[in-house]
Each structure stands twice: as C-alpha cells, then as structure tokens.
Amino acid sequence: MSLESLGWGLDLANAFSILLTQLSPSLVPGRVVRQERGLLTLQTAERTVLARPSGRILHHAHGAEALPTIGDWVALQLPPGDGEALLHAVLPRRGVLMRREAGHEHAGQPIAANLDVVFLVTGLDGNFNPRRIERALTLAWNSGATPVVVLSKADLEPEVATRVLEVQELSPGVTVLALSTLMGEGIEEVRAQLPAGKTGALLGSSGVGKSTLVNHLLGESRLATQAVSAEGDRGRHTTTHRELFVLPHGGLLIDGPGMRELGLWGEDEGLGHAFADILALADGCRFRDCTHHNEPGCAVLSALETGELSRERLDSYEKLRREQAWQARQSSPAAQREQRRHERTLTQMGWERSRAKRRGD
C-alpha cells in the first residue's frame, strides 16, 4: 500500500524530513490505522506492524490528547523481524476530534486525528435528538474538519423531508443527508462527501448504523452488525475498536465504538460555528456584554418574540456555553491553581473564625 493512498502529501513529507534530522535517519513514516485498548496498528509503505510509543513520547505527552491516536501520521523504527515497532514521534496534526473523557473532569479523549470530514450519524428513530446534533456539531467544528449530518434509517421516518429541513435550520451551511441502507438510498451521496485521499470519521451513538454504512461503502460485509434493542431503541456496542478503512474509490473512513456521552473539549470556536445564527443576532444587541436575559435592546430576545429563534435552541446554546466555560476552567492549569488558592484562603478563614470563637472574640 502506498503512503499516498493513505493521504500522504507534501506537507507531511516536509515535516517528516525535519524529524529525520532531529531524531534518526533510519525512521520511516506510517499512519495509525487501528487502535484497540491502547494497542496501535500502523501502516507503512512496506508493511503493517504493531507499535508502541517510545519513552520519549510518553515523557513529553501532556495528557491523552498528545498521545498517538487513530489517523495520526508518525515516525517509527521498524523492527528487524516480526516484533513491535517503536513509535518515536507524531507528525504535526491538521486537527483532532476530541471529547471530554467520560467520567473525568480534567481529561480529554482523542477520537481521531487529521480529518477532513466528520459524519454525524443519527437515526430517524428513537435516537433522533436535535440537541445532541448541536453538541456533535460543536465537537466536529472544533476538530478543524467539515461536519456532515447523516440521518440514517430514513425508511423508518414518514416525514423525512421535514426532518432534513429541521436539521438544516439548526446547522446553517452544513450538508444534511438522508440515508437508508435498507433501501440503498443516500449511500452514493455519503461517498461523494469523501473524495479520494480525504479522511472522514463516523461519530454517533451505538445502533445508528455506522458499521452497516461502512460495509455498504466497502462493498462487502467486513464489520459485524447487530439489531437495535426493542427496549427504547437502544443500540448495542458491536464495534470495540477504531479502524481506518480505504474505500474502493480511494476515500479513507474511520469507524469506532458508539458514544453515548459527548462532553465538550477544546476551544469555543466550534460553538461559534454551530450557533453562528445566535452570534449573528447578538451582534445587533444594544450592549456588547448582553447576556440575552432581560437587557433592553437585546436582539436575541427580540428574535425569540418574533419566532425567528426558538427557546429550545437558545437554551441549548447557553447550556453548551456554560459547559464550555466550565471545561476550560477545569482544564486550565492557571485556573486550577487559582481554585486551589481560593480553597486555601477559605480554609484559612475558617481556621481564624474557629480560633476567634475559642478566644471569645
């Protein structure tokens, strides 16, 4: 397999040449094509190898987001035989799709790196949730990739056109596709969003049909699939690892386990893209620091009154904005130091009050 078929280009070649002068001329480039419980599979121009990060990478990594993930381009030392390769450096990324790791306030979890397109897959059944789509759009825009919303199981929805229009209204400028793998509809439209040499990733909860879509795009049943549970339309995890597939037409697609939680992580740029309509309205507010609650001359509240903006969408924006601000404080070393200083001050004040009571002051 050639590196070019995996998305290798001039910018990566230049970055790799610089690394060779800094590390070792014996290193070769490769791409992470499979990730399972920390075990990485890399594809080079010569062969497919298992690899582990070197001590240098582990020592300099500041959090999981700095470690190699699916889609990354890396510099590695090939083993002389069939052993594990040693991964020495991660080449500069064009972006990375991240979420806050489930159950951890201060940790981000990389989902995939170097993406051109993120397909946000949601089923037109019990899985359909406009608020979740807005959250997924925020994550996708933060990755630097272009989001595409895929409404799967269109054969289960009698008002498909209405659903498409609803999603288009909450994601202005974003392509929205209706898909039915059962009827063979929408598959070519999805394929057209991923030209040869470009990398996409599927993002969605379990049971929305991601693996089924991959099988149709591959033209073979390579991934196992399961029926959705009859109780609450809940999907069951079938895929347990992340893998990059080279599609017959040359596009590259990453599939992975379904995600129930999509905690925000990263800058607020994605929020601005996902809610560009609200930010455009806010530019018309009388006060620059308008909170859109009760200020006079608030263009956002005026849009609510006229029906131009729905209360559900504004509430969703404010909720995600608060979550983004909270997450930024939690992940900021400076903010964490300030929080510890504040807690020490409160503790000291408590001690002083207790001593004053004992003295009878």
Give pLDDT tens digits for 273-323. Answer: 899 999 999 999 999 889 898 889 999 999 999 999 999 999 999 998 888
- CB–CB of 213/179 below 8 Å? yes
Report the pLDDT value the prediction gives residue 4, as an integer from 0 to 100: 95
pLDDT tens for each residue of 57-81: 888 877 777 789 999 999 999 988 7
Q: How far apart are CA 62 and CA 209, in angstroms?
A: 35
For residue 293, the Cα-to-chain-centroid distance in whole angstroms is: 31
Say how many CA atoms lie within 13 Å of 54 toward its Cβ.
16
State the pLDDT confidence band at 338, using cuts at 50, 70 and 90. low
What phi and psi, each to the nearest 5 degrees, are found at residue 141? -65, -35
Q: State the average pLDDT over residues 207-216.
A: 92
pLDDT tens for each residue of 184-203: 999 999 999 999 999 999 99
Report the pLDDT value the prediction gives residue 168, as an integer from 0 to 100: 93
Count the Cβ atoms, other than its own, within 10 Å of residue 235.
23
pLDDT tens for each residue of 229-262: 444 445 454 667 899 999 999 999 999 888 777 7
Report the pLDDT value the prediction gives residue 232, as an integer from 0 to 100: 47
> Between the CA of residue 40 and those of 12, 51, 184, what are the distances in Å?
20, 6, 34
Q: How far apart are CA 331 and CA 348, in angstroms?
A: 26
